[in-house]
Amino acid sequence: MVLAAADGAGSAALAELGATLACETFARLVEAYVGKGGRVAAIERPLVERWITGLVYRMELDANRSGATVQDYACTLLAAVVANDTAAFVQIGDGAMVISNGAGWRHVFWPQHGEFANTTNFVTSQRAVPTMEFLRLDEAVQEVAVFTDGIENLVLQKASKTAHAPFFDSMFPPLRKSQASGVDAELSQALDKYLSSPTINSRTDDDKTLILASRRRA
């Protein structure tokens, strides 16, 4: 399974397109790797660095055709590649990923923020590869949440640098009951309604992308 989320920089003219290209290109690079016999258990940082270089090259090609610059495509990237008994995680920028193997919740990386709260790293910056977070876990990850920075304050305890367990304890049970293969449209609509509610919007005005994935059953 490949999960990818990206948040376009507010100052970038083509940020939405950049976020789309980042997610789609990363997923296709992983698909090509697995299609050639590559195993998630063999993914190492140098390989992921080449993937990041490849997706930026894809943005450069698009920029050259449209008369833009690659900085117009600036965005963050969070990605999880999960197999049966191993998983690889990649992050450039803010947002975070939270995982569980059935015993509590823990974040994979802490959000990347700069000197100021509203600054971060982007895949199009020269610092993208050096600051990229990479981790491969050789364990059976049962559940994953991938989210952009708009809901960081709702789901992370910044003082203790931990995941806010009550949020995930409430969000995952409906998913475990789902009989859908792949994306559950009904649950996705309910999640969209919740994240767009006045209560949530009063607490954040940034991108609120949230991906939940589970292979546990109720």
Does residue 202 register a pLDDT over 90?
no
Q: What are the pLDDT digits (tens) for 39-72?
A: 999 999 999 999 999 999 999 999 999 999 999 9
Do 151 and 204 form a contact (C-beta atoms < 8 A)?
yes
Start-to-end Cα distance in the chain = 20
The answer to whether the predicted template modeling score (pTM) of the entire model surpasses 0.75 is: yes
pLDDT at residue 161 above 90? yes
Per-residue DSSP letter, 208: -
Going along the chain from its start, the domains and CATH numbers come out as 2-214 (3.60.40.10)
* pLDDT attached to residue 117: 55
Res. 116 pLDDT band, cuts 50 70 90: low
Dihedral (CA of 47, 163, 218, 183) sign: negative
